[in-house]
């Protein structure tokens, strides 16, 4: 197949492709420039794969009915969204053609192109969010089907102050919103002590991520109550009504055997009258005694000279804010 006619215009220069059982084009890679006419304007799928930073991925994908599902753009293209104009290299769509996820950059990290080089290409974007206007560098923005913001990911170096049910908090890595705009979850820039029915818990995930993580260190119900926390610093001992003792704590493992330890934080879920740890059995809060202790893992990530990018929860004050 050299050419295919789509809902958005003809695509030529197809070098590889896949079809659905109904014969419609599922996805394809192109080696020539094409202009697709969409509700977001004219879009040119990726056809130039010479740049070492660009991923060799399908240029465009479709749903079975021919609606656009994903497009890798050949150049950063301004896209109008519900929160402002975003220059983008990759976009995914819902079946109604509304934007699902949008990525300003989509470089391939490798031995030839690292995160610092990719970050150097990022630019501040002016965005209007439910709780204010911000200039920030984002790795990706996620939307509900109606266009409301679902979540936002930040570069590891970036910090953002937002208003939460716990007051103004400094956020790293990203946050999530409910469809009505209320805060659903966020990653604190440093460990924060949060009062809970079982005692004060230090909420912090001592790992860096460059992708959207649905469960974050602080998670709220839609009406603003603490729903769950992740802790890299606390051990919790539970003594039930029969005086049986249970211990729960975060773990750290050198999974690859290369000296880099990954921390598996302790997940604590709160319910109306009970609590669970790491999605296990529920304990009735009124029937149990809870002892919360600070835990220093034996092998935490090695310290670096740049505290602004370090994920280690190595002190009560946590990482430095920038």
Secondary structure (DSSP) of 206-257: ----SS--SS-SEEE-TTS-EEEEEESSEEEEEE-TT--EEEE--EEE-TTS
301: pLDDT confidence band, cut at 50, 70 and 90? very low
Q: What percent of the chain has pLDDT over 70?
A: 89
Look at residue 128 and tell me whether its pLDDT is greater than 90.
no
161: pLDDT confidence band, cut at 50, 70 and 90? very high
Side-chain half-sphere of 265: how many Cα atoms within 13 Å? 26
Provide the pairing of β-strand 218-220 with 183-188: antiparallel
User: pLDDT tens-digit profile of 204-236?
Assistant: 988 766 555 677 899 999 999 999 999 999 999
* Confidence at residue 317, expressed as pLDDT on a 0 to 100 scale: 34
* Confidence at residue 213, expressed as pLDDT on a 0 to 100 scale: 67
How far is 218 from 37, CA to CA, in rounded Å? 41
Strand partners, 10: 5
User: pLDDT tens-digit profile of 63-116?
Assistant: 999 999 999 999 999 999 999 899 999 999 999 999 999 999 988 777 778 888
Look at residue 49 and tell me whether its pLDDT is greater than 90.
no
How far is 303 from 310, CA to CA, in rounded Å? 7
Write the burial class of residue 149 (CB in 10 Å: 0-12 exposed, 13-18 middle, 19+ buried): buried
What is the reported pTM? 0.83
Q: What percent of the chain has pLDDT over 90?
A: 68
Top pLDDT among 309 and 236 is at: 236
Write the burial class of residue 184 (CB in 10 Å: 0-12 exposed, 13-18 middle, 19+ buried): buried
Place of tokens 């912090």: 204
């Amino acid at each position: 197949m050299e050419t295919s006619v789509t809902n958005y215009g003809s695509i030529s220069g197809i070098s590889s492709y896949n079809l659905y059982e109904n014969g419609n084009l599922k996805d394809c890679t192109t080696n020539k420039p094409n202009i697709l006419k969409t509700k977001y304007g004219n879009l040119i799928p990726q056809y130039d794969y010479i740049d070492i930073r660009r991923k060799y991925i399908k240029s465009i994908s479709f749903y079975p009915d021919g609606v656009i599902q994903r497009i890798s753009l050949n150049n950063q293209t301004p896209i109008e969204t519900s929160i402002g104009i975003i220059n983008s290299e990759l976009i995914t769509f819902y079946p109604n053609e509304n934007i699902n996820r949008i990525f300003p950059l989509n470089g391939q990290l490798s031995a030839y192109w690292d995160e610092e080089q990719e970050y150097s290409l990022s630019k501040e974007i002016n965005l209007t969010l439910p709780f204010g206007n911000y200039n920030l560098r984002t790795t990706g923005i996620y939307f509900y089907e109606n266009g409301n913001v679902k979540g936002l990911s930040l570069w590891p170096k970036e910090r953002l102050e937002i208003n939460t049910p716990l007051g103004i908090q400094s956020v790293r890595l990203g946050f999530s919103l409910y469809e009505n705009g209320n805060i659903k979850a966020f990653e604190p820039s440093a460990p924060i002590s949060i009062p809970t029915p079982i005692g004060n818990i230090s909420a912090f995930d001592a790992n860096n991520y460059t992708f959207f993580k649905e469960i974050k260190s602080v998670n709220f119900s839609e009406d603003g109550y603490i729903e769950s926390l992740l802790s890299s610093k606390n051990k919790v001992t539970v003594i039930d009504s029969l005086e049986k003792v249970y211990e729960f704590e975060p773990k750290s493992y050198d999974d690859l055997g290369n000296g880099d330890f990954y921390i598996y934080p302790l997940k604590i879920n709160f319910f109306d009258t009970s609590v669970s740890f790491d999605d296990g059995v529920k304990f009735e809060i009124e029937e149990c005694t809870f002892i919360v202790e600070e835990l220093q893992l034996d092998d935490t990530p090695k310290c670096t000279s740049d505290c602004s990018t370090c994920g280690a929860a190595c002190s009560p004050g946590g990482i430095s804010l920038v």
